[in-house]
Structure 1
Amino acid sequence: MTPPDPLQSPTLEHKTLLWLVAVVTVAFVLILLPFVGAVLWAIFIAIVFAPVHRRVQRQANRRPTLAALLTLLLILLIVILPLIMVGFSVVQEASVVVQKVRSGELQFGQYLQRMLDALPPWGRAVLERFDLVNVGALQQRLTGLLTSSGQIITTRLLGIGQITLDFVIAFFVMLYLLFFLLRDGARLSERIAEAIPLQEQQTHRLLGQFVTVVRATVKGNIVIALIQGVLGGLAFWVLGLPGPLLWGALMALLSLLPAVGAALVWGPVALYFLFTGEIVAGLGLTAWGVLVIGLVDNLLRPILVGKDTRMPDYLVLIATLGGIAVFGLNGFVIGPVIAAMFLVAWNLFTTIRKQPNGGVQG
Structure 2
Amino acid sequence: MHPNDPLRPPLLEHRSLLWLVAGISAAFTVVIWPFIGAVLWAIFIAIVFQPLHRRVLAQVGYRPNTGALLSLLLILIIVILPLIMVTVSIVQEVSVLVQKVRSGQINLGLMVRGVFDAVPEWARNILERFGLDNLQGLLDQLATLLASSGQAIATRLLGIGTYTLDFVLGLFVMLYVLFFLLRDGRTLSRRIALAIPLKERQSDRLLTQFATVVRATVKGNIAIALVQGTLGGLAFWMLGLPGPLLWGGVMALASLIPAVGAALVWVPVAIWMVSSGQLWQAVVLTLWGTLVIGLVDNFLRPILVGKDTRMPDYLVLVSTLGGLSMFGINGFVMGPVVAAMFLVAWNLLTTLRRQQAVEE
The answer to whether the superposition gives a TM-score over 0.5 is yes
Question: Would the aligned equivalents of 1:42 and 1:178 in 2 still touch at CA under 8 Å?
Answer: yes
Shift of residue 13, structure 1, vs aligned partner: 2.1
Sort the Cα spacing of 1:63 and 1:33 in 2 relative to 1 into closer, same or farther, 3 A: same
Could you give the per-residue CA deviations for residues 293-317 of structure 1, whole angstroms, max 9, x where no partner exists?
Answer: 1121111100001111111222112
Q: Name the counterpart of 1:325.
A: 325
> Percentage identity across aligned positions?
66
Distance 1:48 1:155 in 2: 31
In structure 1, C-alpha distance between the alignment counterparts of 2:307 and 2:148, rounded to whole Å: 43
Q: Is the 8 A contact 2:98 2:151 kept in 1?
A: no
Does the C-alpha gap of structure 1 residues 129 and 207 become closer, same or farther in structure 2, counting only changes over 3 Å?
closer
5+ residue gaps, structure 1: none
What are the residue-to-residue correspondences of 1:247-258 with 2, within 5 Å?
A: 247-258=247-258
* Cα drift, residue 30 of structure 1: 1.6
Q: Check whether the contact 1:156–1:163 (CA below 8 A) recurs between aligned residues.
A: no
Partner SS for 1:7? coil
- Matched residue type, 1:225: A
2:93 matched to which residue of 1?
93
Task: For 1:228-247, list aligned pairs within 5 A.
Answer: 228-247=228-247
Amino acid at match of 1:337: V
CA shift in 2, pair 1:88/1:272, >3 Å: same
Residue deviations 1:173-202 (CA, integer Å, cap 9, x gap): 111111111111011111111111101111
| Residue equivalent to 1:103 | 103
Q: Deviations over 1:19-51 (max 9, x none)?
A: 222222122212211111111111000000000
- Change in Cα spacing, 1:138 to 1:27, as seen in structure 2 (3 Å) is closer
Post-superposition offset of 1:81? 0.5
Q: In the alignment, what sits opposite 2:141?
A: 141
Any residues of structure 2 matched to 1:134-283 within 5 Å, and which? Answer: 137-138=137-138, 140-144=140-144, 146=146, 150=150, 153=153, 156=156, 164-283=164-283
Q: Quote the Cα distance in structure 1 between the aligned partners of 2:131 and 2:18.
A: 61
Q: Distance in 1 between matches of 2:54 and 2:75?
A: 14
Look up the match of 1:47. Answer: 47
Per-residue deviation, 1:144: 4.2
CA RMSD of aligned residues (A): 2.8
1:292 maps to which residue? Answer: 292
- Partners of 2:119 and 2:165 in 1: CA distance: 51
For structure 2, the residue ranges without an aligned partner over 5 or more in a row are none
Judging changes above 3 Å, is the alpha-carbon distance between structure 1 residues 153 and 196 closer, same or farther for their aligned structure 2 residues? same
CA contact (8 A) 2:118 2:271 kept: no
Q: Distance in 2 between matches of 1:202 and 1:148?
A: 58
In the comparison of the two structures, how many residue pairs are matched? 356
Structure 2 equivalent of residue 57 of structure 1: 57
CA distance in 1, matches of 2:133, 2:9: 77
The answer as to whether partners of 1:102 and 1:143 remain within 8 angstroms in 2 is: no
Counterpart of 1:68 in structure 2 is 68
Give the match for residue 80 of structure 1.
80
Following superposition, the deviation at residue 126 of structure 1 comes to: 6.4
Q: C-alpha separation between the residues in 1 aligned to 2:134 and 2:21?
A: 62
Query: Would the alpha carbon gap of residues 139 and 183 (structure 1) be closer, same or farther in structure 2, given more than 3 Å must change?
Result: closer
